[in-house]
Each structure stands twice: as C-alpha cells, then as structure tokens.
Chains A and B, each alone.
Chain A
C-alpha cells in the first residue's frame, strides 16, 4: 500500500442559521484557502459528498463544481454520502493511480429544511418511511436500547453534551453553545441538547502520497488504516444497543491505541456506543473539537472528523488519532480512519 496522508484541512466558521450564502458560496472560500495553503491549483483527483434532499433539489453537486475551477476539465467523482466516503474513494484512487494529490470536499445547509424529517425518506420505503418515523425517533430507540443494556443514565448523556459543548466553545469554527440544561424530551430518552444543532458549513481536505505529502506538510497525518462497514437496515433485525459495523471497521482500520478520537456523534448516546465498539478507554480524548454536538454541517460532518483528527497530528498534540463517520439510521454504516505522525503507525 502507498503511504497517503492528510496534508491540509480547511473548514468554514460554521453557523447555526442561514447567513444568506448559497452552498457554492459557502464552499468557494474553503477551496480557495486550501489551494493557497497547499500551493496546488490542479489536483490529480477531486471527490465530493453532498445530498440532494438536504438541498431540496437534484444535482446539488453540479453547482458546487463552480467553486472548484474545473477547467481545463478535471478527473472528478461524487458520492451522495458524507464527504468522508468521498475521502475514502480518493484514498483508493491514490492507492493505484498515477496521481499524487486529491481534493475532497463536502458541504451542507441544514438550516434550509428539517433534517430529522428529511431523513425519513432515507429509510426502507415499504415498512419505515410510510410510518413517518423521523431520525430523532429512530435515534431515541437506539438510545433506550443502549441505556437499558449498559446501565448508563440520562446523566451520562448530559455529561457527554456538557463536555462536547465546553470543547466547542474553545473551537473558533464550531457553534458556541451554553451548558446543557434539562428541558423537555425531544423524543424520550433524548432531549434537545442530545441532538446535534442545525448547522450550515463546508469543509475540504487535501490528500497526498509519499514524498509529495512530505513536501506539502511539515507533519503529514498518515492514514495507517481506513475501513467502512454496513449492517442490516431495519432496526428490528439488529442489536441496537451496540454497533457491530463500527466494531468491524475499527478492528480493520487499527483503532487500538489512539490518543484522540473524533467521532461522528449526532446524538450524545452514540458516543457511548462508539467508545465501546471502538475500544476507546477513558484515556482517549473524544471530540476535542466539540464534535457534531457543537457543529454539524451535514455531509461535511464526517469529513470534518477526519480533518480535526489530522489537525491533532499536524499540530503535534497527538501521535495517533482516529476520525470516524457514520451514515444511515442508528449508526447503520460506519467509517474509521486512523491517522499517525509516522507512516508505520
């Protein structure tokens, strides 16, 4: 396998409300900055992640291409998934390609719709979508299953939120949210603060191979393992209290021994489930950026986890870090990317 590293990461100052910028306008400064930072104007490959239903219209990725400067024509692809999967596609391309660099980006404006409701059309169209079951309700089923099995309490969920929001207030790019106070349940056992905030934002990452990575970055964040796994869709056929697909992906990517983990936790209880699945003990710092509970620009959120984990390698605060992304109802699909300051892990 070729040595591939995250050499640059740029994100917007995420906002909790629509500031009047289109998706393309949100993205363009991020692309401009990452080009300036790396000094690269033409990448070997470009890949993005976005979602038409989030944008409310088909082909959201076509307009976004305007921000990239795709002329002369570029080698490019797109996944209708979180941009973490776009990063995976780019990593695969770098493994066999004749190319040394790749640009990956994702963007989302959750302020335009109600994501919990939009998520309903992403479920089984025969048994789930017709029920009108929303993302928060599905997540709450999983929260209940986990609390009942593990003995964790709602106080433990609140502690996750309090820690995440405190970290988020130290992150200039995240939303700055107050300490959680007990309001009513949104969908019991989850309260409003247990759910990631509505966020608009965009992010980009540059990957580079071997010596090119060393030229571009003083301390490249080498990808020593990356893997993603799915599990069956219907909630009634799984053990919701655990995440088997996260466990598998973590095992294959080599999650053991990381110092920092950035987890795609759109709901507080997911941190408990993922810590267990990935074998992250008390000594592992989780979501020092504040995580999705402090900023959740959907379709970029997973990519930002990898970017934030890489940034801990870039700045020397961690030797090994992990970025995680999730997709589908109740953590159905999980991606784990393990990064290191050394190519041999």
Chain B
C-alpha cells in the first residue's frame, strides 16, 4: 500500500511531463517515421510507397547530397573553431581584472539576440558596399568580397557569424575554469611548471567535461542550422548555403512533399545520433572527471 502510494506520487509528479512528451515529442516522432514511408502532399491522402523516399534520396536527388555537404562543411569548420575561440575567450575573461563583469556581459550579449535579429544585423555587417566589415578592411587597403553574394564566400561568412554567437560556450568554459582548484596551479608552479605547461597539463584536462558538453551541443546545433540560410541567403547564392534543415523545410512546405521531408528528417536524426554516439564512445579516453578514478 505504502509502496503503491509512493509510486503513484512519483508518477503524478512526472505525469505532466510524460503527457507533454507523448503528445508533443514522441507522438510527432512516430508519426513522422510512419509518414516517411508515404507520399503525402499534406492535402490529399497519404499513399504508401515503402522505401522509395529513402531510395530516391540517395539515388536521384542531387540537392540531398549538396545540402548534406554544405551542412557537414559548416559543422566540421564551425564547431572546432567555435570551441577554440570560446575557450580562449573564456581564459581571457577568467583573468582577475577590473571591470571584467562588463567584458563578460559584452561577450555573452550576442547569444541573447535571437536568430532572426542576429541574421538581419549580420546582413548589414556583411553588406559589400557600405557594410562595416568591408569598411574596416578598406583601411588595410583590402577590397572586401561580396560576402553573402559570392558563392565562394557565403558559407565562410555564416561560419564567421557562428563564432560571434559562441557566448553560451564561453559561459560553460568559464564555469569549468573556475572549478579548477587553485591548489593544482600552486603546486605545479612550485615544481617549476611554465604557464604553457600548466595550460596543457592542468587546464585542458580539468576542463574536458566542458569541452565534451560544448562539442556535443555544437555538433547538434550545427546540423540543425536553419535560420541563417533561411533569412540571410535563402540557401543561395547557387545553393552554397543550402543547409539540410532548410532543404527539409522547402520539401515540406514549398514542394508539399511531407513524406519525403519526413524521410529527410530521419536521415538527419540518424546522422546526429551516430555522431553523438561516436563522441560519447571516444569520450572515455579523453574526458576526465574529478570524482572518477581511472584504472
């Protein structure tokens, strides 16, 4: 009886969440899996076509490959770059200087701005004729490119922009850095360790859990990139910023191919899941937890 009551209490506490999860996450998830085996325009009856959506994707659809390539390129460059920049900034922001609070706020500020507003802001920064970036470059005697208009530069521009928004990562790193016991630095400096040696042998290992977290979130975020492509470039010029998520959206709501779009989403899900799993699998060899004993 007592055990029953307690179980009931437990379930009723998480009940609301479970209902929400079933209705708004699990339900749609299963529905999209089922619909990925159908041809469905949203307006007429779904027609079962088996694996055809998946087969066509790999066999017939050059845009599937193109958008995959764009998204992978973006992820492969922007994620490590974002990690390095935010770690370096976090280290700078961890110095004990006057007015550091202001700098911390300033560097975090970009992450507070929502996607669309940031996208519009950057369109102006990158404007070729009177954008601020090309204006600064002109002082150095450099004629800046047509950032978003040149197919060779557009993706680079968006990667640049992604680094600007790495404030969230900075905060995590900053917290990680502040968790490192001062003791370790003191002891090592008695042993004659240089600053660089301390960074390599203490800071980096101690901060690996934060790197791990930021890496996972970065990979997931990069593969879901949508707003920049949708607002700033509309996938162009010449499909050079045609992100996978944008392609899913266009297939669903422009071409009314819901089944195909659902199939595309599941491929994205598998890609993200596999990559996340890979990072997790390798993590035991490079992530260190203080509370953990390595045998």
Is B truly associated with A? no
Chain A interface residues (CB < 8 Å from chain B): none
